Amino acid sequence: MNVAIAVITGAVMGLVSVIGGVAAYQGNPGGVDQVKLYSYADK
Amino acid sequence: MTEPRVRLPAVVATVAVTVLVLGPLLVHGGIALRGDMVFTPDQPWKRAWLGLDGSVPRAVPMDALVSVADEVLPGGLLQRLLLVAAFTAGGLGIARLAGRFSATAQVAGVLVYLWNPWVHERLGIGQWPTVLAYGLLPWLVLAGGRLRAGGPGGWAATFVLLALAAVCAPSMGLVATLVAVATTWSERRRLLAVLGAAVLANLPWAVPALLGPGLRGSSDQFGAFAARGEGGLGTLGALLSMGGIWKVSVVPPERTHLVVVAVAGVLALAFVAGFRWAVPVLGARTAQAIVLAGAVSLLVALLPAIGPVGGALGSLAEHWPAVGIVRDSHRFLAPYGLVLGLGAAALVDRLLAARGATVVTAVLLAAAPVVLLPSLVWGLAGALRPATYPADWSRVAARVGHSGSGTVVLPWTGSYRGFGWNDRRAVLDPAPRYLPGEVLIDDRIFLRDRVLPGEDPYLRRVGAALESDDPAAALRGLGVRWVLVEKGNGVRASDVPSGSVAYDGRWLSLVDLGRPERSVADVREAPPAWPVVLGGALTAFLCFGMITHLARLWSLRRKSV
């Protein structure tokens, strides 16, 4: 049972690390921190 | 039971987290400018830092302390020291609270307390004082325990920490009061005394807030600033793992994925459940205090996000602007971090004691915070990279000098700017902290879909003056002489009142409207000076006395060892 928990925990951590790592690399899809500015594209 | 102590791996973990998170600041020169985090090379002293000018006392008295401190230390160095202090205090504090657990358990506590979405998101909007106050919370719990036990220095340490938290931010003054009350509430006389101490500790910002001109609250602010869901999981789901900030663009990118937020939420629940193993180690009273503070903070963070509650608070804020202090409800989640940090330490300690495969699980759980939030590394994945102010700024500051006249900053469209030399990151306009004298910026808040009205009546008059037929004359009537144009932020030539160009550089230009007949101080309603100064002086005097007392106790203790 303990072994199963350890394996499942490891698998979940592995999955999350891949998803999270890729997402962190790609950046925030909601846009970088924004201020409503007029003269150029918001960043 | 063993004496609590911070084990070396926890110290190493604290240092490692500090270096990994603040990396860009530690290897590059310049000043990190992001969101509300604004430092300047040499912040001039002004009445506003004590709340004496009639403006909203949001950064009172922290700005006063920064202005004094950077007479000795450059602003860039001061910024680094304060941020390092925030992480160091937080890491060592939580490790000290978990002082009877194993080294690995303490490391887990440090990682959960420091490496989490709340810290990420608060740094993301530049609220460094809030993070600094968060770092003080474990020490406040320890001080409260000492106070309860009648130990030497308990009262002094509690007062100093309450005052330091209040200096960081008014909202964190309230959070610290919650934690102090939770640790000491069991006896009525002591509770009243702690509340009295909290009132004294918060005087520097509370007095100008109460006596200042009638500020106007907005009914819409709670809808805009309440905590919200992440990754599609809903507000409570996000808050459970300490996420949920209102500003979507600073949500860590991995937190936009349901799987990550869900796993983080499940882990948080496991840590909360694990807290029960911390009870015999912390002591029932201390454990109870932490759970109480954590539960209340979670509730305060959640409630404004519930439609009817947020609406009711918004209506209340129209008549009673002080209610607006809880609009950014996610900020108040700070004490919940204590529950998670200590729960994680207790759970990991328990799993390690069981031996076998559970050791692997324990190590994985200890590392989970970093796995779940990789974008916190290296200054929020580069977002905290420092920049250098162009020479225009110091030249304009010298030109404005100490003329005693006000400076209006354009564009008059909210308080946040994007500068090409700062990679166009949205940052609170540095002009009030860079230029001497009264520097006036628009206090309306421009969100993606709406504009929240400003709170300051004087600034509304400035806005009206800029819209008038003769803005130069109207502004001089309000005590304004200078107009600072921040180029690249959408200012059109027609927006600038007519006057002589006193400076025209690549990034800034300065227009002289002519000397006004009155000063801003003559026109702007401000609180009476003596109660504000008296309140601040009283708190400072008490703090100084308490710190001296604590220093003497520490010295005596060292001699007796």
pLDDT of residue A37: 39
pLDDT of residue A38: 33
pLDDT of residue A29: 57
Instruction: Tell whether B296 and B366 lie within a shared domain.
Output: yes
Chain-chain contact of A23 with B260 (C-beta, under 8 angstroms):
yes
Instruction: Tell whether B409 and B356 lie within a shared domain.
Output: no
pLDDT of B310-321, one tens digit each? 888 888 877 777
Separation of first and last alpha carbons in chain A: 50
Chain-chain contact of B257 with A23 (C-beta, under 8 angstroms):
yes
Among B382, B410, B431, identify where a domain stops.
B382
In a domain, B20, yes or no: yes
In a domain, B360, yes or no: yes
pLDDT of residue A36: 46
B554 vs B229: CA distance, rounded Å: 46
**B480 — phi, psi (to 5°)?**
-95, 135
pLDDT of residue B449: 73
Q: Give bridge partners of residue B486 from the DSSP assignment.
A: B508
User: Of the candidates A29, A8, A18, which has an alpha carbon nearest to the alpha carbon of residue B266?
Assistant: A8
pLDDT of residue A34: 44
Q: How far is A12 from chain B (nearest CA, A)?
A: 8
Separation of first and last alpha carbons in chain B: 21
| Number of folded domains that form chain B | 2
In a domain, B40, yes or no: no
Asked if pLDDT for residue A32 goes beyond 50, the answer is: no
Chain-chain contact of A26 with B490 (C-beta, under 8 angstroms):
no
B375 vs A24: CA distance, rounded Å: 5
Q: How far is A1 from chain B (nearest CA, A)?
A: 9
Q: Which residues of chain B have pLDDT under 70?
A: 1, 213-221, 448, 561
How is residue B398 written in tokens? 């010298």
Among B382, B403, B438, identify where a domain stops.
B382
Instruction: Tell whether B395 and B474 lie within a shared domain.
Output: yes
Contacts of B62 (CB under 8 A, 6+ apart): B129, B167, B168, B169
B465 vs B454: CA distance, rounded Å: 15
How is residue B173 written in tokens? 């003054």
Using a CB-CB cut-off of 8 Å, the residues of chain B touching A5 are 357-358, 361
Chain-chain contact of A6 with B358 (C-beta, under 8 angstroms):
yes
Instruction: Tell whether B22 and B119 lie within a shared domain.
Output: yes
Radius of gyration of chain A (CA): 19
In a domain, B181, yes or no: yes
pLDDT of residue A35: 45
Q: Give bridge partners of residue B440 from the DSSP assignment.
A: B408
Instruction: Tell whether B398 and B362 lie within a shared domain.
Output: no
Instruction: Tell whether B79 and B14 lie within a shared domain.
Output: yes
Instruction: Tell whether B362 and B495 lie within a shared domain.
Output: no
B412 vs B306: CA distance, rounded Å: 33
Q: What is the DSSP string of B175-186?
A: HHHHHHHHHHTT
Domain that residue B190 falls in: 8-30+74-382
pLDDT of residue B462: 96
Instruction: Tell whether B277 and B416 lie within a shared domain.
Output: no
pLDDT of B77-89, one tens digit each? 999 999 999 999 9
Among B351, B382, B413, identify where a domain stops.
B382
- Smallest CA–CA distance from B255 into chain A, residue: A20
